[in-house]
Amino acid sequence: YQGHTICVDTDLSVISQYSEENTNPQVKSENLGYVIYTSGSTGKPKGVAMSQKALANLIFWHIDELKVTSGKRTLQFSPLSFDASFHEMFTAWHSGGTLVLITEEMRLDAVALLGFIEENRIERLFIPFVGLQQIAEVAVSREFFTSHLQEIITAGEQLQITPSIAQWLSKLTNNCTLHNHYGPSETHVVTTYTLTGEVETWPLLPPIGRPIANTQVYILNKQLQIVPVGVPGELYIGGVALADGYLNREELTAERFIINPFDTSSRLYKTGDLVRYLPDGNIEFLGRIDNQVKIRGFRIELGEIEAVLSQTADIQASCIIVREDNPGDKRLVAYIVANKTQTISQLRENLKARLPEYMIPSTFVYLESLPLTPSGKIDRLALPKPSINTETEDKYVAPTTPTEEILTGIWTQVLKIERVGIKDNFFELGGHSLLATQLVSRIRASFQVEIPLKNIFTSPTIEQQAQIIETTQKQQTKSLQTPIKTRIENQEIPLSYAQQRLWFIDKLEPNSASY
């Protein structure tokens, strides 16, 4: 088809000669609506082919359920490569609203974006959580609160009601409503939760809500059986919202779009997301199944650590990942964007007050901003490899005694780093409970002293540990000089563990010649 430009004024005489009857477009709801490419965990782009009926269902549900009145001004924050852009565009146009466009530069500038929202009287805003957090931080720090926003819709990442978001929304006029949407690219939006009441009563991690119209969700275990309320399981999605599959990727489509075990004539999309039903019927998002990691025998949900960090003063954003830069040594690394830099010790102490030791990151890395994908999500693959903390390097103090010198060598072997100062903190350099056990073992072999494991946690520097070792050595030397006393006749001596065991078995099985 060869397209051409029509000029209504100059071509009006020609246009008026055409038929006034509506054309028959022969468009069906099953026709392809759009293809969005998403990299996924492999990094190899895959095209999600979405039908027109799925998009139409979302639009009609949105306009009806969220009571979108005509004439609203909607900001198109999302780029066209992100499926949320279709949500923005078509809900605005179908409700008779105005779509306000912005430049790529403004999308990345929270200060300019906030001013643009106020200047252009934006009433509806679709924005990922990271973007919401950024403009909330700017608004609170500058005490600049927009007066036109009536509806904010966030998606893409787990929503967290951080202090800045709560403070910003509580001061917006027009009773601005916050909606938490959930839906992978393969199903667009499938569940939603609207936060109601006073901001102070909102949960830190709001649920993702309930299914939208003509959408079914199932929470299943590994055997594809429905799990009870409150029990975590993987989320599977069915109904109109499903994409047709991945463009020209039949094997991958069959892997992720499985036959519905409850209705073999339909399919379910396997999300890879861990969720559970709450008692009130809402669905709670627990994180990605591949983001629920197991380190040193402990199963850890990375989002839980991020949620606690988000409540720490001056922290704008955070991201926790597991790194294995040394084979076999998995460790938690926290990447932080903050208004004011806290010491690593302060961060650790704040987290230790609310989290168990095994959930405390081994390394903290400060960044000016978190790297983002074109769709506004955190790009975890682009997070830099951490180096030794510059704060530790600046405060380096060399060993001054033979004990400190030997300990320094042990630390470098255990932690696999090149340089250690006597005032450095074992855990701030990447140490954890298992490495602390190795440290105790090597101290025993090198100094012939037994240091309780708890002392590594209470005295985490070389300087402190050297003092404990030297004190213990003196006590051992003194005890060896103490003369052995003669045992009093007929004095009872405590049984050894092996003797206690034999006595117990004999009582358990009496009259046996074995014991």
Specify the range with the lowest mean pLDDT, choosing from 20-24, 75-79, 93-97. Answer: 20-24
CB atoms within 10 A of CB 68: 22
**What percent of the chain has a predicted confidence (pLDDT) above 90?**
30
Does residue 203 surpass a pLDDT of 80? Answer: yes
Per-residue buried b or exposed e for 414-451, using 16+ beta carbons within 10 Å of the residue's own CB: bbeeeebbbebbbbbbbbbeebbeebbebbeeebeeeb
What's 199's DSSP letter? Answer: G
Q: What is the pLDDT of residue 264?
A: 92
pLDDT tens for each residue of 80-95: 878 889 999 999 999 8
Confidence of residue 124 (pLDDT cuts 50, 70, 90): very high
Does residue 401 surpass a pLDDT of 60? Answer: yes
What percent of the residues of the chain are helix, what percent strand, and what percent coil, each to the nearest 5? 35, 20, 45
* Nearest Cα residue to 348 out of 333, 369, 362, 327: 362
What's 387's DSSP letter? Answer: -
Handedness of CA 216, 221, 225, 229 (dihedral sign): negative
Handedness of CA 142, 129, 42, 416 (dihedral sign): positive
Confidence of residue 198 (pLDDT cuts 50, 70, 90): confident
pLDDT tens for each residue of 258-282: 999 999 999 999 998 989 999 999 9
The two counts, helices (H) then strands (E), for the chain are 16, 20
Q: What is the pLDDT of residue 43?
A: 47
Q: For the residues 407-422, what does the mean pLDDT come to?
A: 85
Q: What is the pLDDT of residue 1?
A: 45
More confident residue, 6 or 249: 249
- In the chain, the amino acid numbered 335 is Y
**What's the rounded Cα separation, in Å, for the pair 94 and 70?**
9
Confidence of residue 224 (pLDDT cuts 50, 70, 90): very high
**For the chain, what is the largest distance between any 2 Cα atoms, rounded to a whole number of angstroms?**
129
Confidence of residue 41 (pLDDT cuts 50, 70, 90): very low
3-state secondary structure of 25: coil
Separation in Å, CA 458 to CA 242, 414, 424, 441: 54, 18, 14, 17
**What's the rounded Cα separation, in Å, for the pair 109 and 135?**
9
3-state secondary structure of 290: helix
Residue 339 in contact with residue 332, Cβ under 8 Å?
Answer: no
Q: What is the pLDDT of residue 40?
A: 52
Q: What is the pLDDT of residue 299?
A: 63
More confident residue, 67 or 203: 203
Does residue 246 surpass a pLDDT of 90? Answer: yes
Mean pLDDT (the chain, rounded): 84
Task: Tell the residue number behind the tokens 């009536």, with chain if given.
Answer: 150
Pairing of strands 267-277, 233-239: antiparallel
Q: What is the pLDDT of residue 328?
A: 56
Task: Tell the residue number behind the tokens 């400190």, with chain if given.
Answer: 404
Pairing of strands 329-338, 315-326: antiparallel
Q: What is the pLDDT of residue 340?
A: 79
Q: What is the pLDDT of residue 298?
A: 62
pLDDT tens for each residue of 329-365: 678 889 998 887 788 778 888 888 888 777 888 888 8
Q: What is the pLDDT of residue 275?
A: 93
> Is the whole model's pTM more than 0.75, yes or no?
no
Residue 436 in contact with residue 456, Cβ under 8 Å?
Answer: yes
Q: What is the pLDDT of residue 391?
A: 45
Residue 443 in contact with residue 411, Cβ under 8 Å?
Answer: no
Residue 410 in contact with residue 435, Cβ under 8 Å?
Answer: no
Q: What is the pLDDT of residue 90?
A: 92
* Nearest Cα residue to 307 out of 287, 288, 324, 289: 287
Q: What is the pLDDT of residue 277?
A: 96
Q: What is the pLDDT of residue 164?
A: 84
Burial group, residue 111, by CB count within 10 angstroms (0-12, 13-18, 19+) = middle
pLDDT tens for each residue of 290-312: 666 666 556 677 877 888 887 77
Q: Where are the beta strands (DSSP E) in 73-133?
A: 73-76, 98-101, 124-126
